[in-house]
C-alpha cells in the first residue's frame, strides 16, 4: 500500500511529542561544535514567535487507510519582517541625507526531516509550502542560514529551491569563565533605556543591511536585557560627556556631539528560548575541562581561561546591534563584550555568542574561541517575486556585501 505526506500547520497539543522526537533524531552541527540540543521551554515554535508574523509546518506520513497511525517526519519554521535592503539619497531642502530602503523579508528556520524519511522530497515539499505562505503575506525575499559544510542543506536550497549564496557572516562564541572579566578603568559603560536605544540605532544603523524596521519591538521585548554604550573616560579633558560621574546625556545629545570613539551592543537572553550542547568530546577532553573549572573557581585572580560545562544542555546570551566609531572602537567593543560576559556569568550561562559580517570593522574586538566558533556561516537568499517596494535597489540577491549586517536576535 502507498503512503502520502501531508504538510499542515503545527498544532501544539497534538504535535508536540512527534516534533520533539524528530528533533532528537536530527543531529544539528558537526561533532565537537556547538549544536542545538533541546528547546528549554518545551515550545517548538518559541524561536520565531517573537517575530511580527510566524508559522510552523509539520510533514505527516500516513498510509492510505484512515485508521493507520500518522507519524510526524519533518517540520519547518518561518517568519516575516520588514528590513533594510539598501539605501538611497533623499534631499530635504538643501540637505542631502542617506535613508534606508526597506523590503518585506521572510526567514526559514529549523528545517528538519527524520533520517529514516530523507531523500523522499519531504524537505522540498516543506520549503515549497512555506514559500507559498511567504508569498501570500507579501514577502519579496526569502533567506535561510546553514553551516557551509552542510552539503545536503546547501544542495537542497541552491540546486532545488532556487536560492543563491548571499552572505557569509562569522559566528563568534566565547565561553563564560568562573572568574569575572576586568573592565579597563578608563572605560565608562552606560545602560540605555529601550527608547534611547531605539533612537541611537535608528539614527546610526538604520541603513545597515538587515536592520529591522520594528527595532522597537526587539528592544522592548522581555528577552532583551539591555543596550550598553562604552566611551573612554578622560577626566582631565574637562568634557562632561567623558566625566566618570556624569549621567548618560541621552542619545540625541550624545549623537549631536559624540566622543571621538564609542561602541554599542545589546544583549538577548537566548537562555530562556532553548539550550545547546557540545557533542563529540572525549573523556580526556571533558576531564581537562573540569580541571580548568576547578582551578579557576579556587584561584579566580589567575584568570584562567576555563572551559564551562558545555557537555550537557546549557544556555547562552546573544550579542546583537554591535557597532562603533572612532580609533578606539575595537578596544571599547572588547570592554563591552567583557561586560556582557559578566552579565552572562551572573545569569548562569555557558557561552556568549555574537554574529557579525566577516568584514565588520570591530570584529577583532569580539573575544571568541575558534574551536567553538564558525568563521563562515552561510546565508542563502531567494527573490520571491518581481515587484519591489522601491526600484532603486533592484534585485537584492545580486547586491555586493557591505561592511556590516544587523543580525536579528529573534531568529538566532
pLDDT band at 50 (very low <50, low <70, confident <90, very high): confident
319-366 per-position pLDDT tens digit: 999 999 999 999 999 999 999 999 999 999 999 999 999 999 999 999
Instruction: For 190-239, give the DSSP string.
Output: EEEPHHHHHHHHHHHHTTSBT-BTTHHHHHTSTTEEEEEEEEE--GGG--
CATH, residue 87: 3.40.630.30
Q: What is the pLDDT of residue 2?
A: 54
Return the closest-CA partner of residue 166 out of 379, 367, 15, 357. Answer: 379
Residues in the chain: 412
Share of the chain above pLDDT 90, in %: 61
The whole-number average pLDDT for the span 13-35 is 72
The whole-number average pLDDT for the span 369-374 is 89
Are 133 and 185 within one domain?
A: no
Q: Is residue 81 part of a domain?
A: yes
Provide the H-helix boundaries in 28-161: 122-136, 151-155
Note whether 178 and 297 are within 8 A (CB): yes
pLDDT band at 39 (very low <50, low <70, confident <90, very high): low
Q: Is residue 145 part of a domain?
A: yes
Q: What is the pLDDT of residue 40?
A: 45
Instruction: Report how far residue 266's alpha carbon sits from residue 258's, in angstroms, rounded to the nearest whole number.
Output: 19
Residue 125 neighbours by CB distance under 10 Å: 18
Q: Is residue 340 part of a domain?
A: yes
Q: How far is CA 78 from CA 108, 118, 191, in A?
A: 5, 21, 33
Q: Is residue 182 part of a domain?
A: yes
Instruction: Report how far residue 213's alpha carbon sits from residue 103's, in angstroms, rounded to the nearest whole number.
Output: 10
CATH, residue 296: 3.40.630
136-177 per-position pLDDT tens digit: 999 999 999 998 888 989 999 999 999 999 999 999 999 999
Are 162 and 190 within one domain?
A: no
Q: Is residue 100 part of a domain?
A: yes
Instruction: Report how far residue 101's alpha carbon sits from residue 86's, in angstroms, rounded to the nearest whole number.
Output: 5
Q: What is the pLDDT of residue 267?
A: 98
Q: What is the pLDDT of residue 60?
A: 93
Are 12 and 112 within one domain?
A: yes
Note whether 307 and 177 are within 8 A (CB): no
Residue 52 neighbours by CB distance under 10 Å: 15
Q: What is the pLDDT of residue 198?
A: 98
Are 87 and 159 within one domain?
A: yes
Q: Is residue 370 part of a domain?
A: no
Instruction: Report how far residue 143's alpha carbon sits from residue 47's, in angstroms, rounded to the nearest whole number.
Output: 16
Counting the structural domains of the chain, the total is: 2
Q: What is the pLDDT of residue 48?
A: 77
Are 147 and 267 within one domain?
A: no
Strand 71-92 and strand 262-268: the pairing is unpaired
Q: How far is CA 278 from CA 23, 115, 179, 352, in A?
A: 16, 21, 21, 14
Note whether 232 and 259 are within 8 A (CB): yes
Are 198 and 333 within one domain?
A: yes
Please give the grid coordinates belonging to residue 98. Answer: 542617506
Are 33 and 137 within one domain?
A: yes
Please give the grid coordinates belonging to residue 177. Answer: 569563565
Note whether 371 and 32 are within 8 A (CB): yes
> By mean pLDDT, which of 21-25, 34-38, 75-79, 304-308 is the weakest?
34-38
Note whether 156 and 123 are within 8 A (CB): yes
214-259 per-position pLDDT tens digit: 999 999 999 999 999 999 987 555 454 555 568 899 999 999 999 9
The whole-number average pLDDT for the span 10-19 is 89
What's the domain range around 277?
173-365
- Is 44's pLDDT higher than 80? no
The whole-number average pLDDT for the span 198-217 is 97
Are 195 and 46 within one domain?
A: no
Instruction: Report how far residue 189's alpha carbon sits from residue 270's, in angstroms, rounded to the nearest whole number.
Output: 23
The whole-number average pLDDT for the span 19-28 is 79
Q: What is the pLDDT of residue 148?
A: 87
Q: What is the pLDDT of residue 214?
A: 97
Instruction: Report how far residue 381's alpha carbon sits from residue 389's, in angstroms, rounded to the nearest whole number.
Output: 17
Instruction: Report how far residue 391's alpha carbon sits from residue 85's, in angstroms, rounded to the nearest whole number.
Output: 12
Return the closest-CA partner of residue 345 out of 176, 184, 209. Answer: 176
The whole-number average pLDDT for the span 101-111 is 94
Q: Is residue 382 part of a domain?
A: yes
Q: Is residue 303 part of a domain?
A: yes
Are 280 and 351 within one domain?
A: yes
Are 151 and 287 within one domain?
A: no
Are 309 and 394 within one domain?
A: no
Are 152 and 266 within one domain?
A: no
Amino acid at each position: 500500500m502507498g503512503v502520502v505526506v501531508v504538510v499542515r500547520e503545527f498544532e501544539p497539543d497534538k504535535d508536540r511529542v512527534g516534533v520533539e522526537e524528530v528533533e532528537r533524531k536530527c543531529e544539528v552541527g558537526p561533532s565537537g561544535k556547538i549544536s542545538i540540543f533541546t528547546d528549554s521551554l518545551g515550545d517548538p515554535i518559541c524561536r520565531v514567535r517573537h517575530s511580527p508574523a510566524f508559522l510552523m509546518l509539520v510533514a505527516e506520513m500516513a498510509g492510505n487507510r484512515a485508521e493507520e497511525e500518522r507519524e510526524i517526519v519533518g517540520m519547518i519554521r518561518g517568519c516575516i519582517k520588514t528590513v533594510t535592503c539598501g539605501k538611497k539619497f533623499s534631499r530635504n531642502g538643501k540637505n542631502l541625507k542617506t535613508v534606508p530602503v526597506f523590503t518585506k523579508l521572510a526567514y526559514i528556520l529549523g528545517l528538519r526531516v527524520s533520517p529514516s524519511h530523507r531523500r523522499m522530497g519531504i524537505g522540498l515539499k516543506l520549503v515549497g509550502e512555506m514559500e507559498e505562505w511567504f508569498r501570500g503575506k507579501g514577502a519579496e525575499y526569502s533567506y535561510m542560514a546553514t553551516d557551509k559544510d552542510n552539503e545536503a542543506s546547501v544542495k537542497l536550497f541552491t540546486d532545488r529551491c532556487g536560492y543563491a549564496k548571499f552572505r557569509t557572516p562569522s559566528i563568534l562564541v566565547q565561553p563564560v569563565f568562573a572568574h569575572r572579566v576586568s573592565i579597563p578603568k578608563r572605560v565608562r559603560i552606560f545602560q540605555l533605556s529601550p527608547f534611547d536605544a531605539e533612537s541611537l540605532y535608528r539614527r546610526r544603523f538604520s541603513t545597515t543591511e538587515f536592520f529591522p524596521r520594528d527595532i522597537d519591538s526587539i528592544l522592548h521585548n522581555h528577552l532583551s536585557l539591555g543596550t550598553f554604550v562604552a566611551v573612554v573616560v578622560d577626566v582631565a579633558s574637562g568634557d562632561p560627556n567623558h566625566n566618570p560621574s556624569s549621567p548618560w546625556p541621552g542619545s540625541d545629545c550624545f549623537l549631536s556631539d559624540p566622543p571621538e570613539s564609542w561602541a554599542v551592543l545589546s544583549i538577548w537572553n537566548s537562555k530562556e528560548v532553548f539550550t545547546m550542547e557540545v557533542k563529540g568530546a572525549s573523556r580526556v577532553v571533558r576531564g581537562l575541562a573540569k580541571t580548568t573549572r576547578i582551578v579557576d573557581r579556587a584561584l579566580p585572580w589567575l584568570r584562567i581561561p576555563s572551559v564551562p560545562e558545555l557537555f550537557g544542555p546549557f544556555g547562552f546570551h546573544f550579542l546583537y546591534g554591535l557597532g562603533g566609531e572612532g580609533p578606539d572602537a575595537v578596544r571599547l567593543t572588547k570592554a563591552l563584550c567583557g561586560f556582557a560576559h559578566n552579565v552572562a556569568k551572573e545569569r548562569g550561562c555557558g557561552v556568549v555568542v555574537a554574529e557579525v559580517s566577516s568584514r565588520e570593522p570591530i570584529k577583532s574586538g569580539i573575544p571568541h574561541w575558534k574551536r567553538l566558533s564558525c568563521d563562515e556561516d552561510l546565508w542563502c537568499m531567494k527573490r520571491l517575486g518581481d515587484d519591489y517596494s522601491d526600484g532603486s535597489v533592484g534585485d537584492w540577491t545580486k547586491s555586493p556585501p557591505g561592511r556590516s549586517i544587523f543580525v536579528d536576535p529573534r531568529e538566532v
